[in-house]
Structure 1
């Protein structure tokens, strides 16, 4: 089912969480929040929207991390319903695109629910105080031609790092619904 993300709830405080990656290493949201901010992205392996942006997402997150903005990706799908989203496939999927950020398993789906994540991809851009400032799309290319794309997420996160505030105009992200138990 195709869904759009809701409008950004500016200032909303993202609940802290600790999740493990597919190798069993744990990461805590509050410990990853830098003085430049944090991007939390809800993604999965099987979604054609995530697959379509995989390489662009790698490039954009590398650009963000080079600016001191940390990134965490969370997989909240019920991978018993969609086995291709399971931890053993997450490692291969991340390697395929060269992702250099932690890709975490939300085993009980509590983080996805606490954040109100609705689709993959669903991007949450926080300022240094953990306040939501961006809930939009990666770029304007969607599943189409990535040439000459507008790097909306990167621009928003750099603005957040610089000013603490995100852009008032944000286009919703679009993707497959999260597969809840």
Structure 2
């Protein structure tokens, strides 16, 4: 029997995956739950993939094995497709509905995939799509997209919304607390579908 709830947060450099994992860690501490986490940055400075593994309740090991994640939070639609193998069939993914075309698309003159092609690649999973940019703008800043995504995923995470909001307050810069609180609440109340 599995002793943890495993969340993989993925995106590209600069989207705030590490901040989101820090928020989850702080919320676990507030609730007295053990937590393990690890980040892989790769070529993040050049728009490359970033992944953050968060294991709530885990006593050993910080990396999630492929096919065993309970939840995938993707800040970029293409990254949801790239990391889908971490979920079992029927697994849960909360993804941004937008994506940044990789540099290789332009460098190699490749065709940019459309949203429907990417969503076809996510068939067999339980998918929620979130227009994080629009919702973050509604909250007051497009820089709060990561907190919107965390809010949208929070209904699937075994942590209280109060602990998550308190963690947001601790982790974001003081001058952005109000915007990020609003972003979390807007994300949490978003529709659950694609």
TM-score, normalised relative to structure 1: 0.31
Structure that is richer in helix per residue: 2
TM-score, normalised relative to structure 2: 0.30
